[in-house]
């Protein structure tokens, strides 16, 4: 393998694939980035076996030469050092040559680097899952759906299935669900032209979706998603992102979502968020994060919290619309703030079915999201 390549382009590709490298791997080959050079271009691959990312650099882009290939070939280079040194090379022109025993020589300006390379034959082979069910979704929508659900996953490794986000597709409707048993987030989107595709119980690790979000551009360009039995492939422009599907059956959450309410409030999202945030400051000191919400006789609500050591916070909030019975309820303010942070709608509805029953939050101008928080069971 012998090439000359532009530093910025190589660097960008490295940044993409390096998201699949685990710093904790004990298998040396997985701590590396594989380079495959053909006369068409350079393919970079990294994998931690849960996620694999592949990025392709064509020899030419927009009539500009990116790579000059003198000799095709492959090598695996130690990721940590490779990632950092390429960024810091003094010149835009980078020469790379692999010699005997995968010794790799990199030069740029007056800098010469000799790197211990590994045998590319030892690198894991990526699954071939083309030909399976495929859907297409605008990148910006995919990122939004991830952001609006992933915060509710469980971080407890004791229930691995809940560390993922559930994907279901039926009747053109793609739905994401996440829960940690204390709260639940769901977000749906209508995808045209997927009538023939249907899947359920596709669960993708939250941390994988967060890494994917960093690579997907904030644009409406379509991301193709191939869903196979135990793998999902996200196809972006020149980047392929493979993820394992989590093993196990995701619990049925449909029954915990109430369909009728005893009390319904419409509130200003920003004002509610700021108010809960102040009450949270104090509740945090008690470790419980308990904040109380109570309807008042004047038609408003009261938000309050207290700490035996520090004191009390109490404030009143105007209600835009109020239906149903008076109510007093306690909840984990951190969970409420997590929802309020990702709601984009200016107003939101909070609905209750009693002081021991789930609290429902729905953005007013978005019928496709809903959030549930279980209340604290307090005695007073």
Judged by the rule CB under 8 A, the positions of this chain that interact with a copy of itself are: 78, 81, 84-85, 88-90, 103-104, 109-116, 274-275, 277-278, 281-282, 285, 307, 309-317
Residues contacting residue 105 through CB under 8 Å, at least 6 positions apart: 95, 96, 97, 98, 99, 112, 113, 114, 115
CB 153 within 8 A of CB 178: yes
Least separation in angstroms between CB 106 and a copy of itself? 9
Q: In what order do the strands lie in the sheet with 183-190?
A: 199-205, 164-170, 173-179, 183-190, 369-373, 359-363, 347-352, 263-268, 321-324
Task: Say how far apart CA 221 and CA 143 lie, in whole Å.
Answer: 12
Q: Which CB, 257 or 296, lies closer to a copy of itself? A: 296
Rounded to the nearest whole angstrom, what is the least distance from the CB of residue 375 to a copy of itself in the complex?
A: 23
- Least distance between a copy of itself and beta carbon 299 (Å): 14
Question: Residues near 280 by Cβ (< 8 Å), separated by ≥ 6?
Answer: 289, 291, 305, 333, 334, 337
First CA to last CA distance, the chain: 73
Based on CB atoms, which residue is closest to a copy of itself, 46 or 313?
313
For the chain, what is the largest distance between any 2 Cα atoms, rounded to a whole number of angstroms?
Answer: 83
Copy the structure tokens of residue 103. Answer: 């010794």
For the CB of residue 280, give the shortest distance to a copy of itself in the complex, in Å.
Answer: 10
Q: What are phi and psi of 345, to 5 degrees?
A: -70, 140
Residue 228 exposure: Cα atoms within 13 Å on the Cβ side:
14
CB of 34 to a copy of itself, least distance (A): 17
**Nearest to a copy of itself of 221, 310 (CB atom):** 310
Beta bridge mates, 76: 34, 118
User: 10 Å Cβ neighbour count for 356?
Assistant: 11
CA-to-CA distance for 362 and 343, rounded, in angstroms? 9
Nearer to a copy of itself, 87 or 198 (CB): 87
| Min separation Cβ 372 and a copy of itself, Å | 27
Identify which of residues 190 and 314 has a Cβ nearer to a copy of itself in the complex: 314
CB of 90 to a copy of itself, least distance (A): 7
By C-beta, is 85 or 189 nearer to a copy of itself? Answer: 85
Q: Which is nearer to a copy of itself, 135 or 265 (CB)?
A: 265
Nearer residue to a copy of itself within complex by CB, 65 or 298: 298
Pick the closer one to a copy of itself by CB: 257 or 310. Answer: 310
CA distance 143 to 213: 6
Q: How far is the CB of 303 from a copy of itself (least distance, A)?
A: 9
CB 303 within 8 A of CB 293: yes
Q: Say what the alpha-carbon torsion angle 222, 238, 203, 146 is, to the nearest 10 degrees.
A: -50
Q: Smallest distance from the beta carbon of 277 to a copy of itself, in angstroms?
A: 6
Whole-number Å distance between alpha carbons of 259 and 223: 34
């Amino acid at each position: 393998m012998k090439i000359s390549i532009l530093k910025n382009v190589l660097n960008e590709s490295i940044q993409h694939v390096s998201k699949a490298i685990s710093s904790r791997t004990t298998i040396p080959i997985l701590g590396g980035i594989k380079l495959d050079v053909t006369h068409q271009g350079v393919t970079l691959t990294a994998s931690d076996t849960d996620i694999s990312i592949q990025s392709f650099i064509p020899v030419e882009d927009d009539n500009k030469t990116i790579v000059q290939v003198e000799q095709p070939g492959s090598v695996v280079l130690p990721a940590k050092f490779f990632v950092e040194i390429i960024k810091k090379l003094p010149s835009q022109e980078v020469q790379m040559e692999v010699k005997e025993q995968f010794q790799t020589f990199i030069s740029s300006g007056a800098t010469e680097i000799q790197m211990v390379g590994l045998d590319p034959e030892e690198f894991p082979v990526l699954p071939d899952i083309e030909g399976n069910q495929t859907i297409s979704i605008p990148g910006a929508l995919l990122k939004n759906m991830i952001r609006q659900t992933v915060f509710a996953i469980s971080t407890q490794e004791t229930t691995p299935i809940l560390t993922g986000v559930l994907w279901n597709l039926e009747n053109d409707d793609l739905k994401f669900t996440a829960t940690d048993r204390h709260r639940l987030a769901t977000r749906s989107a209508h995808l045209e032209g997927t009538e023939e595709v249907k899947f359920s119980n596709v669960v993708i690790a939250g941390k994988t979706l967060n890494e994917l979000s960093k690579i997907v551009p904030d644009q409406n360009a379509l991301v193709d998603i191939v869903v196979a039995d135990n793998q999902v492939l996200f196809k972006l422009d020149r980047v392929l992102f493979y993820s394992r599907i989590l093993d196990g059956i995701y619990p049925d959450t449909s029954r915990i979502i109430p369909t009728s309410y005893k009390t319904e409030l419409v509130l200003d999202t920003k004002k509610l968020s700021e108010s809960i945030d102040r009450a949270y400051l104090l509740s945090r000191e008690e470790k419980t994060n308990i904040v109380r919400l109570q309807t008042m006789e004047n038609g408003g609500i009261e938000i309050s919290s207290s700490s035996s050591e520090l004191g009390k916070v109490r404030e009143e909030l105007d209600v835009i619309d109020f239906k149903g019975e008076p109510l007093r309820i306690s909840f984990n303010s951190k969970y409420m703030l997590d929802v309020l942070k990702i709601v984009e709608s200016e107003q939101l509805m909070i609905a209750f079915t009693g002081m021991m029953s789930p609290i429902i939050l729905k953005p007013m101008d978005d019928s496709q999201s809903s959030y549930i928080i279980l209340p604290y069971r307090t005695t007073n």
